[in-house]
Chains A and B, each alone.
Chain A
């Protein structure tokens, strides 16, 4: 999981801003390329489906995910009405998986979104203004880069303690530095481009240059990079839950379910493996999607 951060973070994708000068046609060509990339499209559909089942969990869950039954503990897949069996407290696994997706997907997407905004902002500011501002921001980030992400996550989470808010905070802090660095690299490249100089010479304000020119060109490498981090974030979150630093029970969450069902792995190995499989599939889907996006957006890895 750390390694996936390493994969891209220390080798920030270099953008090709020149190709994006004519904005509409760039996104048009991205869509054009995506349309014929069936693997990516399939992953996109899969992810949308997973997200939808999580969002509409209260409507589609066959049972109450918190209703336990001592008489029906650890039942196999397909037992009576329990499509995916039951857990150690006799709760319906399918319902818990649907509800658990809400927490797990949130832990995958929300920290990345927050880190993209915060890290991206710092990165753009550092890249655009350069000099002392850049020095201050990037050297601070360097300090955080001195910690492999798992180590940093365990250190922060271990200090703050478990719980959903702390987990969110931890993941966001861990993801900010790599996103900041990507945004900074992309921005400093854009800054020296001719069209930025041109805009500056026409007297455009710094803010308007940032918004009209810089942000748009920085967006694609940052978004592509952020999409790779979703699976990192999901796996990292499940790892924290595994160490007892995640959400608190009885909240349904894939990582926590994986951790508690591990005790039952000798009784119902297949049922116990379900949360792990869900994490794996979601993570693969996000990884393949970000690969596809990267190719379609013509961002070099």
Chain B
């Protein structure tokens, strides 16, 4: 167990190094010039060169990479070009916004999917099963940003129940999930984010529970006189290790994949930051955001793997 954990952790290091190389390379091959954005519409080439030197963008690539990597290791992700503030602070601030909403979405999706999955598996072929399966297929098939736009039209514009965009009545810094006036800003993003994992987890839960309900020991339990409710609890407990692992993975994907939904709702998380960084060609910000997201994703996977091997040693992978 400890050996496995140790090896798994060591294996993470080259992956993280690879991540930094990809982050750096991607941004370098891009067309466009981050300096242009800072220049006034009538600035001259000399102005541009002066500014480029001030940001160290005139150095050779390898030098830029190692300088950057060295700083990254001490938590310095550089200065954002368009805002002239430390990237680390920017990304961390945004990351908190993303992870909280992703957590709420994924937990919501998890709870609902467990209920749906159990109902569907228990009554295979029933109307309820078909409805639930339909919802699940819709969840994984719908473009999430399109769903977001539809939600805005209904709930913000037509009904005026929920605000269309932003995070909180006076910005994210004073946002509280426990205040209705603020929380209502989070409702539509949560729904749009939760639907795809809901679809995936419902399908997985349904098939896992169905499989367990078909196994012999369930018949044995029934024969022993356990009530149907107790049998179901038994089945649910049985798939828990797997379900929890799934929860962790979905969380990782939501954190990394929320760029479209955050853009639709102008939710000030990492996805929204990423979109802005791409648009403004803010190299340090883009690198920092991708790096933090990929690192978080790797670490979540690591934790999931370790947790899984802890719960269920049979799942130990090579």
Asked if chains A and B are in direct contact (CB within 8 A), the reply is yes
| Cβ 8 A contact of B196, one of A4, A159, A242, A262 | A4
Are A279 and B149 within 8 A (Cβ)?
A: no
Interface residues as binary, A227-252 with B (CB distance below 8 Å gives 1, 0 otherwise): 00001000100110011010000000
B257 engages A284 (CB within 8 Å): no
B68 within 8 A of A: no
Residues of B within 8 A of A160 (CB): 29-31
Does B27 have its Cβ within 8 Å of any Cβ on chain A?
Answer: yes
B15 & A243 in contact (Cβ 8 Å cutoff): no
Complex contact B249–A10 (CB within 8 A): yes
What's the dominant secondary structure at chain B's contact region?
helix
Residue numbers in B under 8 Å from A242 (CB-CB): 143, 145, 260
Q: How far is the CA of A173 from the CA of B254 in the complex (A)?
A: 20
Chain B: how many interface residues by the 8 Å CB criterion? 55
Binds B, one of A64-72, A138-146, A197-205: A138-146
A194-218 CB contact bits vs B (8 Å, 1 = yes)? 0000000000000000000000000
Q: List the A side residues contacting B257 at CB < 8 Å.
A: 1-3, 148-151
Closest chain A residue, CB of each to CB of B17:
A143
Cross-chain contact A7 with B200 (CB below 8 angstroms): yes
Given contacts A3-B197, A142-B15, whether A151 and B137 have CB atoms under 8 Å apart is: no
Binds B, one of A18-26, A30-38, A121-129, A265-273: A265-273
Is B144 in the interface zone, CB < 8 Å from A?
Answer: yes
Q: How far is the CA of A280 from the CA of B297 in the complex (A)?
A: 28
Given A154-B259, A258-B146, A262-B149; A143-B18 close (CB under 8 Å): yes
- In the complex, whether B165 has a CB less than 8 A from a CB of chain A is no
The docked-state distance in angstroms from the alpha carbon of A266 to that of B157 is 9
Q: Report if A143-B15 is in contact (Cβ < 8 Å); known contacts: A158-B278, A239-B260.
A: yes
A239 touches B293 (CB 8 A): no
Whose C-beta in chain B lies nearest to the C-beta of A9?
A: B249
Given contacts A1-B144, A151-B257, A155-B26, whether A146 and B16 have CB atoms under 8 Å apart is: yes
Q: Are B141 and A6 in contact (CB under 8 A)?
A: no
A77 CB–B CB distance under 8 Å: no
- Which residue of A1, A146, A154 is within 8 Å of B297 (Cβ)? A146
Judge whether B30 and A159 touch: CB under 8 Å.
Answer: yes
A62 touches B (CB below 8 Å): no
Instruction: Mark B95-137 against chain A: 1 for CB-CB distance below 8 A, else 0.
Output: 0000000000000000000000000000000000000000001
A-side interface residues, number (CB < 8 Å): 47
Inter-chain contacts of A280 with B (CB < 8 A): 138, 141-143, 146
Residues 254-283 of A at the B interface (beta carbon under 8 Å): 258, 262, 265-266, 269, 273, 276, 279-280, 283
B298 touches A287 (CB 8 A): no
A3–B140 touching, CB < 8 Å: yes
Q: Which residues of A contact B (CB under 8 A)?
A: 1-7, 10, 139-140, 142-144, 146-151, 154-156, 158-161, 231, 235, 238-239, 242-243, 245, 258, 262, 265-266, 269, 273, 276, 279-280, 283-284, 287-288, 301
With A3-B140, A245-B278, A284-B138 given, name 15 new contacts (CB 8 A).
A2-B256, A3-B196, A4-B200, A10-B249, A144-B22, A146-B18, A146-B297, A148-B253, A151-B259, A151-B294, A160-B30, A242-B143, A269-B153, A276-B150, A280-B142
Sample of 22 A–B contacts (CB below 8 Å): A1-B144, A2-B256, A3-B199, A3-B254, A3-B257, A4-B140, A10-B249, A140-B18, A147-B297, A148-B253, A151-B274, A158-B30, A158-B278, A161-B30, A231-B140, A239-B145, A242-B143, A243-B260, A276-B143, A280-B141, A283-B143, A287-B141
